[in-house]
């Protein structure tokens, strides 16, 4: 193991904001009690989410969404995963879920995931959120690499990555099964320190 990795402090000691804003949005870590609003958004959007996101394949109950939000809160605190809920700052409405996942603190590598509730699609909110999360990761987390991965058939998700300035690095062919049991391929977009930022 390299000296750099063994000398790195535990990520649980890292200090950074739990909330930040973009032009129209407020992004923050999950809190106790968020499950009901998240569940409402999932129920509204399940038909659009189901093909791409495993958690939408079986519609969660409000209690299950609360459990998931509380688990996400704990993971944020111990720095193993960093889910971020996205709100319209003007109205206070919950519009999307995003965050930084598959974290490798030694390499400072993070994957940005996202979904938006159906009533808020087409407004550029996820692209704005991805820009904000990218800036947050660079400024506060010293990111060296940021990834966005999506099913190769999910053109809307791919367009977000492209609009946010991520480069398509490749396609992993037949990497996972979709909800119908068909092998699906995955696109990998990235931004890398010294090239895109």
Given a cut of 70, the residues of the chain with pLDDT beneath it are 1-6
How many angstroms separate the CA atoms of 182 and 141, rounded? 37
Tokens matching residue 55:
């958690």
| Total residue count of the chain as it appears in this document | 197
Q: How far apart are CA 18 and CA 83, in angstroms?
A: 10
Angle between helices 155-163 and 125-141 (to 10 degrees): 50
pTM for this prediction: 0.92
Is CATH 3.40.630.30 correct for 18-144?
yes
Bridge partners, residue 100, by sequence: 82, 112
CB 11 within 8 A of CB 105: yes
Which tens digit of pLDDT belongs to each residue from 90-123?
999 999 999 999 999 999 999 999 999 999 999 9
pLDDT reported for residue 142: 96
């Amino acid at each position: 193991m390299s000296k750099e990795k063994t000398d790195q402090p535990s990520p649980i000691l890292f200090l950074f904001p739990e909330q930040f804003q973009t032009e129209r949005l407020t992004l923050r870590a999950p809190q106790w009690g968020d499950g009901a609003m998240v569940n409402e958004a999932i129920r509204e959007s399940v038909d659009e989410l189901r093909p791409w996101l495993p958690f939408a394949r079986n519609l969660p109950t409000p209690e299950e969404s609360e459990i998931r939000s509380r688990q996400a809160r704990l993971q944020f605190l111990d720095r193993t995963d960093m889910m971020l809920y996205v709100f319209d700052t003007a109205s206070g409405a919950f519009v999307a879920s995003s965050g930084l996942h598959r974290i490798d603190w030694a390499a400072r590598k993070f994957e940005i995931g996202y979904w938006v509730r159906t009533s808020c699609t087409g407004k550029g909110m996820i692209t704005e959120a991805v820009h904000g999360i990218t800036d947050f990761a660079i400024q506060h987390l010293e990111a060296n690499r940021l990834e966005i991965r999506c099913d190769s058939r999910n053109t809307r998700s791919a367009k977000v990555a492209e609009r946010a300035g991520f480069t398509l690095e490749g396609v992993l062919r037949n990497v996972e099964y979709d909800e119908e049991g068909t092998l699906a391929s995955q696109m990998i977009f990235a931004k890398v320190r010294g090239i895109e930022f």
